[in-house]
Amino acid sequence: MPPEGGITRFAPSPTGPLHLGHAYSALIAAQRGKPGGFLLRIEDIDQGRCRPAFEAQIYDDLRWLGLDWPVPVMRQSDRMPAYCAALQKLAGLGVLYPCSCTRGDIRAAMSAPQEGAPVIGPDGLVYPGTCRGRCMAQAGADDALRLDMRRALSLAGPVSFVENGPLHSGNHCLDSDDMIANIGDVVLARRDMGTSYHLSVVVDDAAQAISEVTRGADLFDATAIHALLQILLELPRPSYWHHDLIRDEHGKRLAKRDDARAIAAYRAAGASPADIRAMVNL
């Protein structure tokens, strides 16, 4: 794997202990970055699920693995003003609308006889568009904000991104009709947090001047949303390196609740950093 020589990042959410899959992701990002170009970002917008103890364990496990990064570390919980500014810019472009639908409302709308089979996109059920006619002046404190995908694409023009990773390497040009049908009007500001993963990740990758985003292949499909937001927000366009996922012996991808594969558990059992590298084939 030739190093990219740029600025890369590892962006964990402190909602559980780091496991082998995270170690793999962090080590790949560090390999791809230039010296001093590996950055850490704590993705803690979901304050209901994030815990200070998990954040402390992230720093400790990564240092133990031999990684080093510039400080202070960017933490998304400090970045609400930047996310609000991005939302305002999108609202100014006329591509946002407020949405009051609950998951139950969406499921009920999808089961109406005129709707075809529900489509599951990178963000879950593709939204049926119930609130699309509402304007931002009607937005209330309990509303989420959604991206009007059709309008956004008509403003943005062609959407593409460059993938450097081995799984899907090449230039990916996205088809608008496909994005409307299979991604749809994603939520950019959740009612409980005022932002979303998609919005924050795009704003922060730009703020940290990331030149190559390294992360798991489970986020490959979401990259179309990120490339579109980069165009609308006039942000620089990083390239991407999506890596394969570490799976257990049954082929299931590791989850944070799988404590047996937590780095901390391997450390407690006497494993060395070299053992961890060997376990993930690095």
Query: Can you give the binding site for ligand GLU, defined by CB under 6 A?
Result: 11-13, 43, 201, 215, 219
**Which value, in Å, is the radius of gyration of the alpha carbons in the chain?**
19
HSE-CB at 251 with a 13 A cutoff on CA atoms is: 0
CA distance 111 to 99: 19
The answer to whether residues 87 and 97 touch, using CB atoms and an 8 Å cutoff, is no
Smallest distance, Å, CB 154 to ligand GLU? 26
* Phi and psi, residue 197, nearest 5°: -55, -50
CA 108 to chain centre: 28
Element at 146 (helix H, strand E): strand 144-147
- Which CB, 51 or 107, lies closer to ligand GLU? 51
Shortest CB 139 distance to ligand GLU, Å: 27
Tell me how far, at minimum, the Cβ of 240 lies from ligand GLU, in Å: 10
Partners of 272 in the β-ladder = none
170: left (phi over 0), alpha (psi -120 to 50) or beta: left
CB of 174 to ligand GLU, least distance (A): 18
Instruction: Considering the complex, state which of residue 32 and residue 215 has its C-beta at the smaller distance from ligand GLU.
Output: 215
* Residue 42: CB minimum distance to ligand GLU, A: 9
Spatial CA neighbour of 20 closest among 271, 247, 250: 247
Shortest spacing between CB 219 and ligand GLU, in angstroms: 5
- Cβ proximity to ligand GLU: between 13 and 230 the closer is 13
Which C-beta is closer to ligand GLU: that of 109 or that of 219?
219
Of 207, 95, 81, 186, the C-alpha closest to 144 is 186
Residue nearest to ligand GLU (CB): 215
